[in-house]
Amino acid sequence: MEFWVSQESLTSLQWFFRAVIGFFILLFVVKLMGQRSISQLRLLDFVVVMLLGNILAHPLSDSELGLKGSFITVVAVALLYVTLLLAILKNPKIRHYFNPSPMPLIKNGEIIFQNLNKARITIDLLLVELRKEKVDDAKKVALALWEPGGTISVFVYPQFEQATRQDLHITPKPFNFPRPIIKEGTVDIHELNILGKDIQWLRHSLYTQFKVSPEEILLATLDENDSVKVFIKPTVK
């Protein structure tokens, strides 16, 4: 455990062990904090991520710094993060500070310039976000909101929305999600069992329809209608 404490120098193996321990400490702490900390980088999440990265970066690169202090600090930050999340859930004032209400950038087809300045975004960036939503004209937008996470939600007027099957009175077909049953030549028995099939059925179906074996397939999917789609591995020349 010499790599755990501060030293003037570390061997290559000790550096390796220190990196492995640091990696698993960070992995454990992020798991403890929950998926939200990496899926939505809002104000609190961003601060915590920056802190954790900075805390672990120094002992992983400086042999004179031990891991014990960093480990205690990381745990303290994680506990503080979880405590603040609970406070956000229970206290509306704290919740509003960390997760403020969305700010309108466009309302009734008119751009609200003062809110663009508050959000610190330019007209160019606003137009880019509109194009991502396939909106070519701000006049078509009934409401565009600057969300706390830094994204823009766009709602166009109903007359500019794409027609759906319901609008056209077309009866939609049932949705069948295709499951991957073969990946890079390896059969996923678990997925097959979910769909009520076995390896014998799969081999017979592949040979009958495509004249191939599972080992020759890059990806194969199967849906609830027993429809098989395959992507054959490219032949090596």
Maximum Cα–Cα distance across the chain: 76
**208-228 pLDDT per residue, tens:** 999 999 999 999 999 888 889
pLDDT score at 87: 86
CATH 3.40.50.300 correct for 179-232: no
Q: pTM score > 0.95 for this model?
A: no
Q: Kindly compute the dihedral angle of the four CA atoms of residues 145, 150, 151, 154, in this order, to the nearest 10 degrees.
A: 10
Q: Do the domains 179-232 and 103-160 match in fold?
A: yes
pLDDT in tens, 151-197: 889 999 988 888 777 777 878 777 778 899 999 899 999 999 998 99
Query: Among residues 59, 69, 80, which one has the least CA distance to residue 14?
Result: 59
Identify which has the larger pLDDT, 95 or 66. 95
- 206 phi, psi to nearest 5 deg: -65, -40
Where are the chain's structural domains? 2-95, 103-160, 179-232
pLDDT per residue as tens digits for the range 56-86: 777 666 666 666 667 777 777 778 778 888 8
Nearest partner of 51 among 78, 11, 22, 25, judged by Cα: 78
Between residues 150 and 125, the one the model is more confident about: 125
For 98-107, the pLDDT digits (tens) are: 777 889 999 9
Q: Return the exposure string of 178-215: e unless at least 16 CB atoms fall within 10 Å of the residue's CB, then b.
A: ebebbeeeebeeebbeeeebeeeebeebbeeeeeeebe
C-alpha–C-alpha distance, residues 196 and 193, integer Å: 5
Superfamily of domain 103-160: bsu07140 like domains (3.30.240.20)
Check pLDDT > 70 for residue 113. Answer: yes
Note the residue count of the chain.
237
- What average pLDDT does the segment 232-236 reach? 77
